[in-house]
Amino acid sequence: MIVAETADGYQFVTQPAHARLAGQFADHWGNDAFERPVPSAPVRLAAHAHDTGWEAYDRRPHLDDDGEPVDFREMPAGTWTDLYDEGIDAVAGMDRYAGLLVSMHGAGLRNRRYGLSPSWPETPPAFEGFVRREETRQTRLLAELRETRDSVSAADADLLAALHEDCAVPEGYDGRLWPNYKLLQAWDTLSLAFCVADSPPGYPRIEAVPTAADGPDETLTVAAAGDGQFRVDPYPFDTSPLSVSVPVRTVETGFEGEAELLRAYYGTPLETRQVTLRRAES
């Protein structure tokens, strides 16, 4: 559950709803300045389903020992890893390439996003086993994909080995796995920008956004323009304006215990937050 404080209570967005918003961005990604994802279907599936393991857990909000709603960034390590294990299993069962990307996403969240977030802390001991298991899974999935000559190359195998060794991209790398991983990070962060704050964007800058498999990265800026409108520069989507949505519940304070919070949560109408993205010059 993604929890944001409001003036009178708490805003809740489920992780699967956040992922579906990321998937909406993936579905419309690409124009003259930004290459569309390749392979398209598995990469878009990864965006839509990267938090599918949270489906059952997020049917209800949870409280911590202080009686505050538990945000996804504050979860116990064991619960977090169990949910990611389940979700990655599910996605890999649908498509190996999508599963590989989601495994890299999950492990990367506990491993400085494989170098994209060098300021993050090193892998906490409680997550070391999870990262090792996922990197083993990644190696296996990539080997299976190479056996079928499906979407990966020798360069991608070298990339994965280098990321596992020291979170570095090999010099001269020319595959697609790394830019596709960065695309998933961009869609995930852009979606969170509209979920982690009562007044979006929660993140005004999205860094390390690939323009093409062999092209430079860009930094997207997201600025509120009023009435649910946001200007994105440079603009990466296939249409402008682009209207997307995410379901939100906002619960007032005053509950005591999880049972009361649950009643308040489902007693609150589900709001569909409409978001319209435009080119900076439009």
Phi-psi group of 58: left, alpha or beta (phi > 0 → left; psi -120 to 50 → alpha; rest → beta): alpha
Q: Rounded mean pLDDT of 54-78?
A: 94
pLDDT in tens, 97-108: 999 999 999 999
Q: Rounded mean pLDDT of 159-167?
A: 96
Q: Rounded mean pLDDT of 262-282?
A: 93
Q: How confident is the model at residue 123 (pLDDT cuts 50, 70, 90)?
A: very high
Q: Is the pLDDT of residue 72 over 90?
A: yes
Sign of CA dihedral 164, 168, 173, 175: positive
Q: What are the tokens at 38?
A: 């390749």
> Cα-flanking dihedrals φ and ψ of residue 223, to 5°?
-130, 135
3-state secondary structure of 184: helix
Q: Is the pLDDT of residue 92 over 70?
A: yes
- Report the C-alpha gap between 70 and 155 in whole angstroms: 41
Q: What are the tokens at 102?
A: 């989601």
pLDDT in tens, 181-221: 999 999 999 999 999 999 999 999 999 999 999 999 999 99
Amino acid 150: pLDDT: 79
- Report the C-alpha gap between 41 and 150 in whole angstroms: 13
Q: How confident is the model at residue 175 (pLDDT cuts 50, 70, 90)?
A: very high
Which strands sit side by side in the sheet containing 271-279, from one edge to the other? 2-5, 9-13, 242-252, 271-279, 229-233, 217-226, 205-210
User: Is residue 202 within 8 Å of 194, Cβ to Cβ?
Assistant: yes
Q: What are the tokens at 168?
A: 């570095």
* Distance from the first to the final alpha carbon of the chain: 34
How many DSSP H helices and E strands does the chain contain? 8, 7
Amino acid 282: pLDDT: 62
What is the number of residues in the chain? 282
Q: Is the pLDDT of residue 33 over 90?
A: yes
9-13/205-210 β-pairing: unpaired
- Report the C-alpha gap between 3 and 180 in whole angstroms: 28
State the number of CA atoms in the 13 A half-sphere of 254 facing the CB: 7
**Contacts by residues 231-235 (CB-CB < 8 Å, ≥ 24 positions apart):** 231/277, 231/278, 231/279, 231/280, 231/282, 232/277, 232/278, 232/279, 232/280, 233/279, 233/280, 234/33, 234/34, 234/280, 235/31, 235/33, 235/277, 235/278, 235/279, 235/280
Arithmetic mean of pLDDT over the chain: 96
Q: Is the pLDDT of residue 16 over 80?
A: yes
DSSP 35: P
Q: Rounded mean pLDDT of 212-236?
A: 97
List, in order, residues 6 or more apart from 150 with CB less than 8 Å away. 96, 97
Specify the pTM: 0.97
Cα distances (angstroms) measured from residue 211 to each of 20, 78, 97, 178, 256 = 22, 37, 21, 12, 49
